[in-house]
């Protein structure tokens, strides 16, 4: 008589159970994978005269075939996935739960329902790069319109159909200036976003382009023209400024800087927040050769900082156009000349044709974000963008005024005109300490820049847009007043 | 086969629509008290920086905007409409639940510089996703920062640079080796990272010529960029030897993840000796490609390269998640913030939905589908299968239209265009470069057998037409929104129109 211990019985049962479950799992057809259905799969295997799919992997050397299950969760139902992810995301607190006064390269702006609706249309969302133009006219015309709208907004002749973000666009712009001039030096403002600067460095280092920082005027933050004159030379590939600057003030010496750059045979590159261009002078009007910027404010959500939208536009000389990085869409006609149509152009600049001699390695870009921006610009039109620019300016100035009335705060630290961001100096109190207390008041302060720019003391960079109501701003002011009155910890 | 006819709207350019004074959007009014407090806008801006004339944007009502873009969308093919067999592009189904989750305000309304206490949810997702991708690729640590595959390649090449620099060998190690069958982004990324590109030829089996590789490898070698399975859909079975050759020479082995879909859960690049791996999230993990992007291109590395990854890194202390900027050997940043989070969240949802078994099934069925198509298309007899005809392919296969061209004058381009008439997107044409008149076909796991059969039938028809009525094929497409476009005119310096402004200027000049 064979005696089974309970444990052995249990083990045996479990083994049978596992093999049953495994077989069952193999037989279940996955909703995303139609041919995983058993009979279809069998008929296809039969067609290939094989017994099982592993025979298709016999050319993978045995020692590299994975003999175990990947250590990942098991297949889940849609409702489980939804519940799981939503419950994790719930741990976030967003600007819908508390006013957030952060900007610094990613800004809270309202995204109209029309924009959301159009870019969620599956025809645009689930399309690939328009390699076959005749069947992809929708995306192509949309991107041509994006390029055209960006040209109008920035005052340039040509724009590409997007790069990753402002920071990488700056890297590409520096390399383009280097290719055009054969020079190895670019002059940049000392007041620049540290992440943008870090990205620029990453893009420049392999080709040995150096960045020289131009000093700012102590009182205004503006480009110190004397420092610019001192540094500019026939080695300068380009002079770069940002408008509005990283710290929110408007650089009003565009023309003077352009002249200095051009007098030395250098290019003039301007980085912009495009949402300011409804009311601010377009860089094309003050001599820019290349305009880059962050297109996220034009109809794209913040999404924790990505995807963003790198704007890249330039003047229309053929030498410039030949050095453009990224995809460009052009308008043409059908071969019979009867109809208008659109296709990707100047592909001989790009990696899939020119390979190691391409102007950039970029392939996938941010087309859908560009599409969102096109819809946004079309929706707002000139009057909408002007109204928006005014609203933002008035609200941010109201915030500066309100905060500057508080004892212990100086804002802004520069005597310049500002657009939507501004510096707030807390004099005696640490920014982080104040911000922690603000969170207790359910308000999120700006970005602490005390370590980035120690010369400005205990300073935060605040951002106010059309999404911040008067009440939000008043709440911020009242909370700060209370916090600063309480004294330090 | 039933007729296909794409919508055709003759839709004007947006600048030709609308009328002065129309509005598509009302901006919230500024509270009266604010105006009283800060005064007139004119006093707040520097006179010389005020925009004098409005940008020449169209003025449209909301209704017109919606109609215009809806009409445009109808003139666009997409993966939700049918087969999209672009080789190396992995156009698989994009699950709807992933989109829905990516549109939650708890993600879309998050600012990247928020206090860590307020972003624990998203940090958890990014942290776990990084771990999952490391497990899938067999790497030690993953950075989610790159915005696309090519961006990941650039990062990978920069990591090689940083590695050799730290080891004092960068001045000698100036060459990055790339096979002649590589994606164009490989050599382009290598150049961007400051390397000289050395091309190594393929052998008669379509794999890296190992002898040729030995010849080009030297003390100058920084590394090798390799796609496996390669762009012919063939698994580089000498991978062990390749890795040995490169590593012995002191180089690093880079894995181009464009074709990772074929081996999910079946084999891992890290186990094969790859030191750096990029992943095309928008290919392998089913995120929508949006007509060109955004994608995401995470990079995984082996333990010895971990310290070079970009900052910040998401770390977990057992209780909370943090962003760690303190990495002395880091290459720095390749873009602002942390990556294309909206895309990465979808990938998280995708992996969670399929799980380990589902990912493996996806790989297996994608390979089954590709080999099924290979057999069926080969049986047509009109398309040549270059390289080893007996050998199984992985996720894709490459045919040549060379024979058909000699016989009928019909090229790979013509075949591609004619397929559009049948409502099927064309395969990738003229790539890889080592195959003349190439058609590179990747069905993915997302299409049912009947759809694959319909594609085979279309290929058969086109071949028959090429012989019987070549005009039909040469004139194609006829059923798309527009007929064949003049792409030469589009790119010629004298005729190119890259913006509406350029169009207006040309019109004026010709008057």
Taking each helix axis from N to C end, the angle separating B449-468 and B412-421, rounded to the nearest 10 degrees, works out to 120
Give the side-chain half-sphere CA count within 13 A for A173.
Answer: 41
Q: Give the per-residue pLDDT at A354.
A: 84
Do B305 and B183 share a structural domain? yes
Do B338 and B371 share a structural domain? no
Specify the higher pLDDT residue, A22 or B56. B56
- Specify if A100 maps to a domain: no
Tell me if A395 sits within 8 A of B34, measured CB to CB: yes
* Greatest extent of chain A over all pairs of C-alpha atoms, in Å: 104
Sort out which chain A residues have CB atoms less than 8 A from B292's CB and list them. Answer: 128-130, 139, 143, 161-162, 327, 364-365, 367-368
Q: Using CA atoms, how far apart are residues B63 and B101, in angstroms rounded to an integer?
A: 28
Q: Cα dihedral sign for B59, A367, A120, A331?
A: positive
Q: Give the per-residue pLDDT at B341.
A: 98
Q: For chain B, how many structural domains are there in total?
A: 3
Do A179 and A311 share a structural domain? yes
Query: Do B266 and A60 make contact, defined as CB atoms within 8 angstroms?
Result: yes
B465: exposed, middle or buried (Cβ count in 10 Å: 0-12, 13-18, 19+):
buried
- Specify if A81 maps to a domain: no
Mean pLDDT of A288-301: 98
Q: Which of A163, A107, A199 is nearest to A309 (CA)?
A: A163
CB pairs under 8 A between A and B: 714
- Specify if A80 maps to a domain: no
- Specify if B241 maps to a domain: yes
A49: DSSP letter = T
Q: Give the per-residue pLDDT at A428.
A: 87
pLDDT tens, B361-411? Answer: 999 999 999 999 999 999 999 999 999 899 999 999 999 999 999 999 999
Among A116, A364, A421, A444, which would you mutate to test the B interface (most chain B Cβ atoms within 10 Å of its Cβ)? A364
- Specify if B494 maps to a domain: no
Query: Do A57 and B188 make contact, defined as CB atoms within 8 angstroms?
Result: no
Do B261 and B117 share a structural domain? yes
Do B335 and B204 share a structural domain? yes
Q: Which of A463, A110, A114 is nearest to A302 (CA)?
A: A110
Domain termination site, one of B56, B74, B92: B74
pLDDT tens, A364-378? Answer: 999 999 999 999 999
Q: Is A26 a residue whose pLDDT tops 80?
A: no
Do A373 and A386 share a structural domain? no
Domain termination site, one of A377, A400, A415: A377
Among A115, A127, A144, which would you mutate to test the B interface (most chain B Cβ atoms within 10 Å of its Cβ)? A127
Q: Which of B145, B406, B123, B491 is nearest to A348 (CA)?
A: B491
pLDDT tens, B293-313? Answer: 999 999 999 999 999 999 999
CB contact, 8 Å: B51 with chain A? Answer: yes
Return the CATH number at B312: 3.40.640.10
Specify the higher pLDDT residue, A330 or A487. A330
Do B202 and B157 share a structural domain? yes
Q: Which of B69, B290, B15, B490 is nearest to A341 (CA)?
A: B490
Distances (CA, A) of B452 to A204, B366, B422, B456: 47, 12, 13, 6
Give the residue on A whose Cα is nearest the Cα of B155: A202
Q: Using CA atoms, how far apart are residues B240 and B227, in angstroms rounded to an integer?
A: 14
Parent domain of A200: 113-377
Q: Using CA atoms, how far apart are residues B396 and B12, in angstroms rounded to an integer?
A: 39
Question: Considering chain A, what percentage of its residues have pLDDT values greater than 90?
Answer: 90
Domain termination site, one of A377, A412, A437: A377
Which of residues 127 through 166 in chain B touch A, CB cutoff 8 A?
Answer: 132, 135-136, 147-151, 153-154, 158, 161
Do B379 and B279 share a structural domain? no
Q: Which of B345, B200, B227, B371 is nearest to B286 (CA)?
A: B345
* Greatest extent of chain B over all pairs of C-alpha atoms, in Å: 82
Distances (CA, A) of A187 to A177, A209, A223, B217: 11, 11, 11, 39
Return the CATH number at A143: 3.40.640.10
CB contact, 8 Å: B464 with chain A? Answer: no
Query: Do B77 and A131 make contact, defined as CB atoms within 8 angstroms?
Result: no
Q: Beta strand A340-345 with A210-214: parallel, antiparallel or unpaired?
A: unpaired
Do A176 and A282 share a structural domain? yes
Do A183 and A128 share a structural domain? yes
pLDDT tens, A320-349? Answer: 999 999 999 999 999 999 999 999 999 888
Q: For chain A, how many structural domains are there in total?
A: 3
Which of residues 233 through 292 in chain A touch B, CB cutoff 8 A?
Answer: 243, 250, 252, 254-255, 277-282, 285
- CB-nearest partner of B121 from A92, A206, A279: A92
Q: Give the per-residue pLDDT at A17.
A: 57
Do B341 and B265 share a structural domain? yes
Query: Do B57 and A153 make contact, defined as CB atoms within 8 angstroms?
Result: yes
Sort out which chain B residues have CB atoms less than 8 A from A91's CB and list them. Answer: 120-121, 124
- Specify if A125 maps to a domain: yes
Domain termination site, one of A360, A377, A394: A377
Do B385 and B439 share a structural domain? yes
- Specify if A107 maps to a domain: no
Using alpha carbons only, what angle is made at residue A449 by residues A444 and A455, rounded to the nearest 5 degrees?
145
- Specify if B238 maps to a domain: yes
Question: Does residue B229 have a cis bond before it (omega within 30 degrees)?
Answer: yes
Distances (CA, A) of B122 to A304, A347, A350, B63, B125: 8, 38, 35, 36, 5
Do B176 and B108 share a structural domain? yes
- Specify if A182 maps to a domain: yes
- Specify if B86 maps to a domain: no
Do A204 and A178 share a structural domain? yes
Specify the higher pLDDT residue, B1 or B335. B335
Do A142 and A31 share a structural domain? no
- Specify if A334 maps to a domain: yes
Q: Give the per-residue pLDDT at B2.
A: 74
**Nearest 5°: phi and psi at A343?**
-155, 165
Do B445 and B313 share a structural domain? no
Q: Cα dihedral sign for A16, A19, A25, A27?
A: negative
Q: Is A3 a residue whose pLDDT tops 80?
A: no
Q: Which of A189, A311, A314 is nearest to A253 (CA)?
A: A189
| Contact residues for A290 (Cβ-Cβ < 8 A; gap 6+) | A173, A176, A177, A238, A267, A268, A269, A270, A312, A313, A314, A315, A320
Instruction: pLDDT band for A12, please (50, 70, 90 cuts).
Output: low
| Contact residues for A38 (Cβ-Cβ < 8 A; gap 6+) | A27, A29
Q: Which residue has the tokens 């390029």?
A: A147
CB contact, 8 Å: B315 with chain A? Answer: no
- Specify if A187 maps to a domain: yes
Do B368 and B342 share a structural domain? no
Parent domain of B238: 100-352
- CB-nearest partner of B69 from A142, A193, A361: A142
- Specify if B8 maps to a domain: no
Query: Do B78 and A124 make contact, defined as CB atoms within 8 angstroms?
Result: yes
Q: Give the per-residue pLDDT at A414.
A: 96
Which residues lie across from A313 on neighbouring strands? Answer: A159, A291
Tokens of A397: 């100035």
- Specify if B6 maps to a domain: no
């Amino acid at each position: 008589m064979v005696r089974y211990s309970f444990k052995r019985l249990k083990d045996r049962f479990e083994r049978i159970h596992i093999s049953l479950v495994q077989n069952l799992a193999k037989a279940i057809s996955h909703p995303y994978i139609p041919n995983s259905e058993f009979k279809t799969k069998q008929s296809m295997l039969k067609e290939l005269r094989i017994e099982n799919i592993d025979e298709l992997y016999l050319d993978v050397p045995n020692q590299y075939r994975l003999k175990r299950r990947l250590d990942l969760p098991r297949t889940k139902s849609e409702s489980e996935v939804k519940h799981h992810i939503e419950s994790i995301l719930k741990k976030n607190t967003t600007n819908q739960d508390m006013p957030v006064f952060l900007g610094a390269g990613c800004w809270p702006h309202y995204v109209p329902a029309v924009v959301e609706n159009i870019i969620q249309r599956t025809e645009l969302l689930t399309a690939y790069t328009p390699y076959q133009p005749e069947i992809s006219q929708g995306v192509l015309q949309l991107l041509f319109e994006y390029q055209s709208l960006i040209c109008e907004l920035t005052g340039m002749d040509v724009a590409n159909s997007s790069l990753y973000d402002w920071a990488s666009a700056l890297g590409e712009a520096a390399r383009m200036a280097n290719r055009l001039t054969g020079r190895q030096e670019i002059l940049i403002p000392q007041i620049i976003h540290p992440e943008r600067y870090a990205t620029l460095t990453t893009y420049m280092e392999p080709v040995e382009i150096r960045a020289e920082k131009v000093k700012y005027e102590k009182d205004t933050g503006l480009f110190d023209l004397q420092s610019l004159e001192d540094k500019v030379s026939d080695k300068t590939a380009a002079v770069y400024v940002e408008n509005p600057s990283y710290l929110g003030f408007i650089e009003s010496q565009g023309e003077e800087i352009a002249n200095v750059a051009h007098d030395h045979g250098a290019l003039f590159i301007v980085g912009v927040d495009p949402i300011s261009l409804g009311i601010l002078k377009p860089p094309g009007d003050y001599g820019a050769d290349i305009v880059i910027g962050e297109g996220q404010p034009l109809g794209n959500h913040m999404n924790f900082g990505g995807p963003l939208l790198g704007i890249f536009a330039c003047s229309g000389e053929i030498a410039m156009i030949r050095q453009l990085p990224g995809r460009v869409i052009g308008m043409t006609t059908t071969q019979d000349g009867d109809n208008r149509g659109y296709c990707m152009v100047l592909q001989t600049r790009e990696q899939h044709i020119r390979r190691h001699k391409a102007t950039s390695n970029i392939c996938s870009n941010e087309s859908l974000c560009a599409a969102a921006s096109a819809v946004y610009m079309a929706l707002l039109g000139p009057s909408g963008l002007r109204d928006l620019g005014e609203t933002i300016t008035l609200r941010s100035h109201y915030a500066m005024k309100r905060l500057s009335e508080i004892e212990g705060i100086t804002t802004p630290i520069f005597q310049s005109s500002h657009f939507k961001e501004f510096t707030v100096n807390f004099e005696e109190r640490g920014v982080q300490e104040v911000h922690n207390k603000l969170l207790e008041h359910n308000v999120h302060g700006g970005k602490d820049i005390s370590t980035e720019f120690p010369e400005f003391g205990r300073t935060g960079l605040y951002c106010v847009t059309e999404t911040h109501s008067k009440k939000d701003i008043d709440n911020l002011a009242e909370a700060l007043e209370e916090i600063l009155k309480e004294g330090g910890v | 086969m039933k007729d296909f006819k794409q919508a055709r709207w003759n839709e004007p350019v947006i600048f030709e629509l609308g009328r002065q004074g129309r509005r598509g959007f009302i901006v919230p009014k500024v509270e009266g008290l604010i105006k009283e407090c800060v005064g007139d806008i004119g006093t707040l801006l520097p006179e010389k920086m005020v925009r004098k004339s409005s940008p020449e944007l169209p003025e449209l009502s909301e209704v017109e905007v919606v109609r215009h873009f809806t009409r445009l969308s109808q003139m666009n093919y997409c993966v939700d409409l049918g087969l999209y067999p672009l080789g190396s592009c992995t156009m698989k189904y994009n699950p709807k639940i992933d989109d829905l989750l990516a549109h939650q305000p708890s993600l879309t309304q998050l600012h990247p510089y928020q206090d860590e206490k307020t972003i624990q949810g998203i940090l958890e997702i990014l942290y776990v996703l990084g771990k999952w991708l490391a497990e899938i690729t067999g790497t030690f640590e993953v950075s989610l920062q790159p915005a696309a595959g090519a961006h990941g390649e650039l990062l990978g090449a920069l990591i090689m640079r940083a590695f050799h620099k730290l080891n004092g060998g960068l001045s000698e190690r100036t060459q990055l080796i790339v096979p002649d069958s590589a994606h164009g982004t490989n050599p382009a990324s290598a150049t961007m990272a400051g390397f000289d590109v050395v091309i190594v030829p393929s052998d008669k089996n379509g794999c890296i010529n190992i002898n040729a590789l030995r010849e080009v490898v030297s003390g100058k070698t920084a590394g090798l960029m390799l796609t496996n399975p390669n762009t012919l859909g063939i698994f580089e079975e000498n991978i062990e030897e390749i890795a040995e050759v490169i590593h012995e020479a002191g180089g690093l082995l880079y894995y181009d993840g464009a074709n990772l879909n074929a081996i999910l859960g079946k084999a891992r690049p890290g186990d094969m000796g790859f030191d750096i791996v990029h992943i095309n999230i928008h290919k392998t993990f089913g995120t929508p490609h949006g007509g060109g992007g955004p994608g995401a291109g995470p990079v995984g590395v082996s333990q010895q390269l971990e310290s070079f990854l970009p900052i910040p890194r998401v770390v977990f202390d057992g209780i909370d998640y943090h962003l760690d900027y303190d990495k002395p050997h880091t290459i720095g940043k390749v873009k602002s913030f942390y990556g294309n989070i909206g895309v990465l969240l979808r990938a998280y949802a995708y992996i969670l939905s399929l799980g380990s078994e589902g990912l493996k099934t996806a790989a297996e069925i994608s390979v089954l589908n590709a080999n099924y198509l290979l057999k069926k298309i080969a049986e047509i007899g009109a398309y040549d299968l270059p390289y080893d005809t007996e050998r199984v392919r992985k996720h894709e296969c490459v045919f040549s239209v060379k024979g058909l061209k000699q016989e009928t004058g019909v090229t790979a381009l013509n075949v591609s265009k004619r397929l559009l008439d049948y409502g099927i997107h064309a395969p990738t044409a003229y790539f890889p470069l080592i195959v003349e008149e190439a058609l590179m076909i990747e069905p993915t796991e997302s299409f049912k057998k009947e759809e694959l059969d319909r594609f085979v039938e279309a290929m058969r028809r086109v071949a028959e037409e090429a012989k019987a009525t070549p005009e039909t094929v040469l004139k194609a497409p006829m059923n798309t929104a527009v007929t064949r476009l003049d792409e030469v005119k589009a790119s010629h310096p004298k005729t190119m129109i890259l913006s509406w402004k350029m169009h207006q200027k040309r019109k004026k000049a010709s008057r």
